Amino acid sequence: MHVNNLGSRRHFLATSAMGLGSVALACLLNDEGLLASPDKPELEPKRYDLLPKPPHYPPRANAMISFFMQGGPSQIDLFDPKPELDRLNGQKFTGEVKYDSAAQASTKIMSSLWKFKHYGHCGMEMSELLPHIGSVADEICLVRSMHTGVNNHGSSIFAMNTGRIQPGRPALGSWLTYGLGTETQDLPAFVVLTDPGGVPVEGVLNWSNGWLPSLYQGTVVRPREPRILNLDPPSYMSADTQQRYLSLLGSMNQQHLERHPGELDLEARIASYELAAHMQTAAKEAIDISRESEAVHKLYGIDDPKTREFGTRCLMARRLVERGVRFVQICTGNQDWDHHLLIRKKLPEQCLRTDKPSGALVRDLKDRGLLDTTLVQWGGEMGRLPVIQNDNGEKAGRDHNTYGFSMWMAGGGIKGGMTYGETDEFAHRAVKDVVTHCDYHATLLHLFGLDHTQLTYKHNGVEKSLVDGQACHVVKELLA
Amino acid sequence: SLILMNSDFLLEQGECLAQRVEKASTDIKAQIDLAWRLVFSRPPETMELEQAAAFLHDQTAAFKAAAPKATAGKPAKSPGLLAMANLCQALLSSNEFLYVD
């Protein structure tokens, strides 16, 4: 057997090409007094994992399900009734408006196209299009004064989902799992249930770990079978032979890591194998809704073709949270709520497919005693304008509005049966008790027992956080 | 990771590589050495060689005990080849192969 003791080509290049050059450079810089003084050394290489971690103070919530209604559901037609708009319907809007699509813009006021109803003991006013969400009004806190102030989808999505309007930052689920780990090591900590209508605008950035360790990236579950690809090992592999295979691979990777200490991606990949092995059985069980009773299927509308798809994913979300997953995001399709056009036809379609399952999830969590500790959030990255876009009969729609829009939350320490904040008389701009995306984030971290100024990660020498030094406060009025 | 563990593509690549090294020599240690050179462009260290040989021994015995049957006209794969395919797949799925230094 031929043995080459001179080392590999790779080793030769690694040690010679950069090696001597960098030593020489360091010597020169040192001689010239230009070499920066070393940063305070880390005593131990940092280790990251997904084991449960205690928060800063006792939490109210330990899991979150976020309904990401991407596109911008119309607050005017769904959540924020304005008698003044009804009175001025069809007249000229004299206030200042920021349009996204100026070419089709008009200044003609269009009041809500649907009636509002009082729901629950609290009498919360919401659209007739949302009877099932209305049926859990007493659990809901409806915020009518959301504000991101950046008028296009991508930037506003980044604001709501990552804390700032720029891309490249960790998603909410990544921050929560970085801060708290997760309650089960058999399932991913951060799961995204995508829609058959495509992924939200900005795609994979919505569940990116940004500059947090790769361990905290979201795991996507597909909207159709097989929901998780490659979950089954080949037929000739038994539990025993697979275990031997994985321990060989694990030990090779461990020896490799010892030669490359502190490389977070390598550690994440090792952890990812451990998770994958557990997932083969645990994930299959977790998303198998056939194990649920007929009554539960009915509750979520799984017996009805109109609500089956969305209902199935809502029920999966409950099963995942029940099994210890920290953060689940349920997406609607790409721009599903972006009703520039044909709002009369398209908004009711979206409501019809999502209303019943959304309400069912809150009710089901409540019935199982999970709502107390599970924060549910429902909303998009923007709302809509009180004036018509595409003023052409049935084609009418509404343009973007990030200056005043609505979202709701329930459970996890949120006060039920209350509405908070107000827009002006046109449901256009948030004017009273404004809640910015940063206020929302500080509040949700607070519910998890995390202080938004303390949950930080050092990136490029700077301590970064979800709110990232932007002015914000915990909205105490929303807390139960 | 599920792709690297269970996808048809990776299983196939592992098997192809196993067939190639088995064809090159009948000596298990020479086969391991060749697999290492093909995948990592370096020979295995003594400890790695021993670890791989022990793995092949145990895994072959386990596959033999389970005796996979021929299905739908296809001949059953030999336990030795399956074990070597496992080893090759592990090399192709290892961090040393996946990440550039």
pLDDT in tens, B82-99: 999 999 999 999 999 999
Q: Is A231 helix (H, G, I), strand (E, B) or coil?
A: coil
Tell me the C-alpha distance between B5 and A240, whole Å: 15
How close does chain B come to A189, measured CA to CA in Å? 15
How close does chain B come to A287, measured CA to CA in Å? 17
Higher pLDDT, A126 or A229: A126
pLDDT surpassing 50 at residue A5: no
pLDDT tens-digit readout, A340-351? 999 999 999 999
pLDDT surpassing 90 at residue A34: no
* pLDDT given for residue A4 in this prediction: 46
pLDDT tens-digit readout, B34-81? 999 999 999 999 999 999 999 999 999 999 998 755 555 566 789 999
Share of chain A above pLDDT 70, in %: 91
Chain B residues lying within 8 Å of A256, measured CB to CB? 94-96
The stretch A133-158 carries a mean pLDDT of: 97
Confidence of residue A16 (pLDDT cuts 50, 70, 90): low
pLDDT surpassing 70 at residue A11: no
* pLDDT given for residue A27 in this prediction: 55
Confidence of residue A2 (pLDDT cuts 50, 70, 90): very low
Confidence of residue A264 (pLDDT cuts 50, 70, 90): confident
* Cα-based angle A333, A159, A454 (whole degrees, multiple of 5): 125
Cα A112 to chain centroid distance, Å, stands at 29
* pLDDT given for residue B71 in this prediction: 56
- What mean pLDDT value characterizes chain A? 92
pLDDT surpassing 70 at residue A40: no
* pLDDT given for residue A270 in this prediction: 86
Share of chain A above pLDDT 90, in %: 83
Question: What are B's interface residues with A at a Cβ cutoff of 8 A?
Answer: 1-7, 11, 27, 29-30, 33, 40-43, 48, 51-52, 55, 58-59, 62-63, 66, 68, 77, 82, 86-87, 89-91, 93-96, 98-99, 101
For residue A228, give the chain B residue with the closest CA. Answer: B2
The stretch A381-392 carries a mean pLDDT of: 96
List, in order, residues 6 or more apart from B43 with CB less than 8 Å away: A3, A4, B33, B36, B37
A20-29, A173-182, A450-459: range with lowest mean pLDDT: A20-29
Judge whether A264 and A215 are in contact, CB under 8 Å: yes
The stretch A173-202 carries a mean pLDDT of: 96
* pLDDT given for residue A261 in this prediction: 85
Tell me the C-alpha distance between B31 and B18, whole Å: 9
The stretch A15-28 carries a mean pLDDT of: 54
* pLDDT given for residue B23 in this prediction: 96
pLDDT surpassing 50 at residue A329: yes
The stretch B9-23 carries a mean pLDDT of: 95
Interchain CB distance below 8 Å, A238 and B66: yes
Interchain CB distance below 8 Å, A8 and B29: no
The stretch A437-443 carries a mean pLDDT of: 98
* pLDDT given for residue A281 in this prediction: 86
Confidence of residue A267 (pLDDT cuts 50, 70, 90): confident
Which residue is listed with tokens 């659990």?
A: A139
Tell me the C-alpha distance between B64 and B86, whole Å: 14
Interchain CB distance below 8 Å, A248 and B55: yes
How close does chain A come to B22, measured CA to CA in Å? 15
pLDDT surpassing 80 at residue A29: no
Interchain CB distance below 8 Å, B59 and A244: yes
pTM, full prediction = 0.87
Annotate B32-84 with DSSP letters as a single string.
HHHHHHHHHSSPPPHHHHHHHHHHHHHHHHHHHHH-PPPBTTBPPPPHHHHHH
Confidence of residue B101 (pLDDT cuts 50, 70, 90): confident
